[in-house]
Amino acid sequence: MTEERHQGVVFSEAVLSEDGVDLDVDRRKAILAAEARLGQNHWEVLGLEWNAPVEQVKAAYLDAAKIYHPDRYGGRKLGSYRGRLERVFRRMTEARETLADETRRAAYARSTAPATEFARMEARKLEDERRSLERRARLARQNPLVARASRVGELAARGKEAFQAGDFARAANDLQVAQSLDPGNPELASLASEAKRRAAAKKASEHYDKALTAETMGTLGLALSEYRAALDADPRHVRAAAAGARVAVAQGDHVVARELAQAAVRAAPAMAMAHEALGMVLEAQGDKKEARRALEKALELDPRLDTVKERLRKLRWGILG
Amino acid sequence: MSDQEPVIGIDLGTTNSVVATVRDGVPRVIPNRNGQPLTPSIVAIAKNGKRLVGALAKRQAITNAENTVHAAKRLIGRRWGSKEVEDARKVLPYTLRAGPDGNDVRVELAGRSYSIPEMSAMVLAELKADAEAWFGRPVTKAVITVPAYFNDGQRHATKDAGRIAGLEVLRIINEPTSAALAYGFGKQVERKVVVFDLGGGTFDVSILDIGKSVYDVVGVGGDTYLGGEDFDRRVIDWLTFGFAKENGGIDLRGDKMALQRLRDAAEKGKVELSAVSSAAVHLPFLMGGGEGKPALHLDRQLSREQLEELTKDLVDRCIAVTERTLKDAGVRPAQVGEVILVGGMTRMPRVQRAVKEYFGREPCRGVHPEEVVALGAAIQGHALTAPQAGSEVLLLDVTPQNLGIMVVGGYFQTIIGRNTTVPTSETHLFTTVQDNQTSVRIAVLQGASDRAVDNELLGEFVLEGIRPARRGEVEIEVSFDISADGIVGVSARDVSTGQQQSITVTATSGLTEDEMKRILDEQIDELLEKKQTTREFDLRKQRTQTTLEEIEALRPAVQEALERTRFGKDAVQKAEGVLARVKQAMDARDAAALSEQEESLERTLQLFKGLAGAGRGQGGR
């Protein structure tokens, strides 16, 4: 079987040359390419950029309907393409339902923000930090007291010492100041950022431990603020985010809960725990359909999650015998 | 395009029906064989056993009320014992009965019982014949319109009616949607459009988002029991109360013939009041006196203000339904770019005023309220059969009602919500409710209520062979699927064993496949019979034609003879009567009437021969 590539889609020669179908090869390819995109997100299904405005969504849907609605092929033999067209059109309608509604579109845009978009936000944050460090360094150069202590070697040595001793917070502090005085030193830069990362992780895990204790003691308010502090210190702390979401739901604060759950999914899209937390939050918010979807995703990632199974069961209805 | 088999669009209305087509790229109404665009949706069995449809049936309705069926559309797809049928029985002059399964409704006419689809089929067959006469070739493909609020059963029954009439129904589409198609045809429309359709029997309102020649239905609402006939009934009641007051409490409604005359007069008066401010209702000899009592007449004046007062709440109801529909669709009146009025009742000035007040804009005047629906159906028919994408129109229709199944406690769980664009599909997971339950019954329903019993049952099936387990442990996946032409398919699957059951939902009321087959067979018999009588007629016509030609040839001689003698004038006058009757029978293609006249015609020929001979004789002398 020879296969050719078209818009990044692999076509099956057998389907492409199916007999008794009144469609030319270009149309067949367009339909098959659309079918191959069905598993992608709503934006991609409609061929849109992430976060495209409602007007564009509607226009794209109308254009797509003209190509993929089965009625456009009345009186023609379609073979297996009839089913394909219907599937494509249904999926596009589903995408339109969400994206043509302002509120649902905004929520969906947040949950589907691409990695590049996050990278851009992160980059902006780093840039801000770099500027503030520069400013501090400028001030430091003008301050004779600090200027004396600003010999880089001294600071770097002290920082490394603290790093060895496991005092990452102090190490990060010294190394960063040293680095700001000698920005061209790559060894200092990587050491400083490693120290910073470890300091954050340590801080996060301290907050996380405190939060766990607080939650066990039943002081949910404290637990929630500690979980959030942990997450602030280390945005990749999935367990803190998930547990925080759980506590926020218990406290009835759905906005915070959803924020935390979404943070968890972003931090670790491949961890069942994150999806479970999101599902739980959505369920509490009454969005059963989305909740089911999130829980099913969790179960897909980890089929042994009995709590998820139980929860899913509750979301389904019984049939009268 | 002209070799393409013609496609027709049919607006099968409660009171009137219209047929249209697209020819040379232009949608147009096909006039019936009387040259009229509107054909009354009335069917009757005449005293002589002949079947009458349309204007002919309407004309004899007064004298043959119990064998004349009007407003069959109100009954199509309805169940025996339903509120709608019970209400109809109270006002309709013809007899309704339960069908063989006790669910279906039958009409009793001249000692025979007919299903409702058969009655509608008679109207459709008439329109089909009109179209065939116009095209001069057979027509089989059609798009038929129904009110947007028709449920699945009613749609299926309408489709069955098409089949009985020998039509391949390409699609059943909603009347308001159809009107919007006709409105937007050939124009660049980019706006939200509301179709306000107040017809003879139903009120429908639809909201469409039109752009790039795609007609996207975004909201549908209506009231299946609100229409022109309700306005008529108000007038009838007003007339009967007035009459009773004047004549010592006589209730006209007990007299079927009087009621039919009242109905016609009320409708006529109502229509007149759309143009003038006062209408006279004059019905002489409405009640035969008899037994020495004088006959009673009805003579009253109805003003437009009075009519508006009598029907105020009906107009208010229309606006309330409109308001609800817009709200459901999340559309504000100010966002609406055009309001299209459809249906004869929208000619009423009060209705137009109410619409204008609500939307804050003049409704569109560019469409013909009675013809626009059929034109739209023709456009859709054309779009569905046009071989190339030359016609740009695409209609995205929606499901009119919630579709779902019955769940524990007799509740209704929606699976596909109303106003969902079709084609569509949806899957839900359900669980068993009893320990070791081995089968589940899936009842497929349609309707707006949370309680299953209040909704329409579309069909049911049983999924068997479920793995015995504790309740709640077995997962059953139920999938709904609606295809582009609105056919509902439902399947259920036991997730763990893969055991599967499915049905294609067909009307549970209405006709079974066996009955359908019987009716279609009968239809063929009837066609054969018709062919037989046609052959017989042709034979007689040929013979008669020869005789007539002979008579005409003799006419100058007869004329001459008559001028010279006083004799024979009476005989010739009688003969002229015979000739007129023969010509009438020929026009009506009535073989029986023709054979009746055969002998008289022969005598006429002999008479003419005699007279002509006598004339010649006298002239020669």
Query: What CATH number does the domain containing B474 carry?
Result: 2.60.34.10
Span B481-508, average pLDDT: 78
**Higher pLDDT pick, B482 / B9:** B9
**Total count of residues recorded for chain B:** 621
Best of A71, A77, A97, A306 to mutate (most B CBs within 10 Å, chain B): A71
Span A260-274, average pLDDT: 85
Structure confidence at residue B509 (pLDDT): 45
Per-residue pLDDT at A42 exceeds 80 = yes
Structure confidence at residue B567 (pLDDT): 67
C-alpha pair distances (Å), B104 with each of B84, B170, B250, B447: 13, 25, 36, 19
| Dihedral angle, C-alpha B313, B319, B323, B326, nearest 10 ° | 150
- Closest listed residue to residue A268, CA positions, set A302, A229, A307, A304: A302
Please check whether residues B320 and B358 belong to one and the same domain: yes
Cβ neighbourhood burial of B93 (10 Å; 0-12, 13-18, 19+) = middle
Span B262-266, average pLDDT: 89
Please check whether residues B331 and B220 belong to one and the same domain: yes
Give pLDDT tens digits for B379-422. 999 988 875 555 578 999 888 789 999 988 889 999 998 888 88
SS3 B434: coil
Residue A317: closest CA among chain B residues belongs to which residue? B430
Please check whether residues B207 and B251 belong to one and the same domain: no
Strands B105-109 and B95-98: antiparallel
Structure confidence at residue B118 (pLDDT): 93
Contacts of A285 (CB under 8 A, 6+ apart): A254, A258, A291
Per-residue pLDDT at A321 exceeds 50 = no
Residue B292, domain member (yes or no)? yes
Q: Tell me if residue B175 is catalytic.
A: yes
Q: Tell me if residue B223 is catalytic.
A: no
- Closest listed residue to residue B427, CA positions, set B403, B451, B461, B458: B403
| Dihedral angle, C-alpha A276, A278, A284, A286, nearest 10 ° | -110
Give pLDDT tens digits for B63-75. 888 899 988 898 9
> Of B276, B296, B313, which closes a domain?
B313
Please check whether residues B201 and B329 belong to one and the same domain: yes
**Higher pLDDT pick, B516 / A208:** A208
Q: What are the chain B neighbours of A319 within 8 Å (beta carbons)?
A: 405, 407-408, 430-433, 440-442, 476, 478
Per-residue pLDDT at B314 exceeds 80 = yes
pLDDT classification of A5: cutoffs 50, 70, 90? very low
Residue B243 domain boundaries: 228-313
Question: CA of B147, closest CA in chain A: separation in Å?
Answer: 21
Structure confidence at residue B207 (pLDDT): 95
A24 touching chain B per CB within 8 A: no
Question: CA of B475, closest CA in chain A: separation in Å?
Answer: 8
- Nearest-by-Cβ selection for B431 from A58, A63, A318: A318
Residue B213, domain member (yes or no)? yes
Residue B214: closest CA among chain A residues belongs to which residue? A62
Range with top average pLDDT, A316-320, B165-169, B279-283: B165-169
DSSP-assigned letter for residue B408? G
Give pLDDT tens digits for B92-112. 888 999 888 778 899 998 888
A254 touching chain B per CB within 8 A: no
**Higher pLDDT pick, B52 / A191:** B52
Whether A317 and B423 lie within 8 Å, measured CB to CB = no
Structure confidence at residue A151 (pLDDT): 67
Q: Which of B175, B229, B338, B456 is labelled catalytic?
A: B175
Query: In this structure, how many other beta carbons lie within 10 angstroms of the beta carbon of residue A49?
Result: 10
- Nearest-by-Cβ selection for B430 from A59, A76, A316: A316
Structure confidence at residue A247 (pLDDT): 87
CATH value at residue B365: 3.30.420.40
C-alpha pair distances (Å), B441 with each of A106, A150, B9, B395, B444: 41, 82, 40, 36, 10
Strands B51-53 and B39-40: unpaired
Residue B609, domain member (yes or no)? yes
Distance CA A235, CA A223 (A): 17
Structure confidence at residue B614 (pLDDT): 66
Contact B236, B251 (CB under 8 A): no
- Nearest-by-Cβ selection for B484 from A63, A66, A70: A70
Please check whether residues B370 and B407 belong to one and the same domain: no
Contact B419, B467 (CB under 8 A): no
Whether A319 and B405 lie within 8 Å, measured CB to CB = yes
Residue B217 belongs to what H/E stretch? strand B214-223
Residue B2, domain member (yes or no)? no
Cβ neighbourhood burial of B535 (10 Å; 0-12, 13-18, 19+) = exposed
- The tally of domains found in chain B comes to 4
A320 touching chain B per CB within 8 A: yes
- Nearest-by-Cβ selection for B394 from A69, A86, A313: A69
Q: Tell me if residue B204 is catalytic.
A: no
Q: What are the chain A neighbours of B483 within 8 Å (beta carbons)?
A: 86
Per-residue pLDDT at B582 exceeds 50 = yes
H-state helical runs in A166-237: 168-181, 186-217, 220-233
pTM: 0.68
- Nearest-by-Cβ selection for B432 from A65, A66, A318: A318
Distance CA B561, CA B117 (A): 60
Contact A213, A219 (CB under 8 A): no
Q: A20 — alpha (psi -120 to 50), left (phi > 0) or beta?
A: left
Please check whether residues B267 and B323 belong to one and the same domain: no
Give pLDDT tens digits for A81-124. 988 998 999 999 999 989 998 888 888 887 888 777 767 767 77
Span B530-548, average pLDDT: 75
SS3 B207: strand
Residue B1, domain member (yes or no)? no
Residue B374, domain member (yes or no)? yes
Please check whether residues B448 and B521 belong to one and the same domain: no
> Of B458, B481, B505, which closes a domain?
B505
Please check whether residues B44 and B188 belong to one and the same domain: yes
Q: Which of B104, B126, B152, B197 is labelled catalytic?
A: B197
Give pLDDT tens digits for A141-183. 776 655 654 567 777 888 888 888 878 888 888 888 777 777 7
Interface of A with B in 76-115 (CB under 8 A): 76, 86, 89-90, 93
Give exposure, B331-347, as e/b (b: 16+ Cβ within 10 Å): beeeebebbbbbbbbbb
Give pLDDT tens digits for B344-385. 899 999 999 999 999 999 998 778 888 999 999 999 999 888
Residue B27, domain member (yes or no)? yes
Residue A91: closest CA among chain B residues belongs to which residue? B424
Structure confidence at residue B510 (pLDDT): 55
Tokens 């066996």 sit at which residue? B514
Chain A with chain B: Cβ pairs closer than 8 A: 99
Query: In this structure, how many other beta carbons lie within 10 angstroms of the beta carbon of residue A125?
Result: 10
Q: Tell me if residue B11 is catalytic.
A: yes
Please check whether residues B174 and B190 belong to one and the same domain: yes
> Of B291, B313, B335, which closes a domain?
B313
Strand order in the sheet with B488-494: A317-318, B424-431, B475-482, B488-494, B500-504
Structure confidence at residue A320 (pLDDT): 47
DSSP-assigned letter for residue B99? -
Structure confidence at residue B268 (pLDDT): 92
Please check whether residues B119 and B262 belong to one and the same domain: no
Please check whether residues B137 and B162 belong to one and the same domain: yes
Please check whether residues B330 and B303 belong to one and the same domain: no
Span B216-240, average pLDDT: 90
**Higher pLDDT pick, B102 / B452:** B452
Contact B183, B341 (CB under 8 A): no
Cβ neighbourhood burial of B233 (10 Å; 0-12, 13-18, 19+) = middle
Distance CA B482, CA B421 (A): 10
Residue B433, domain member (yes or no)? yes
Whether B433 and A313 lie within 8 Å, measured CB to CB = no
Distance CA A139, CA A181 (A): 11
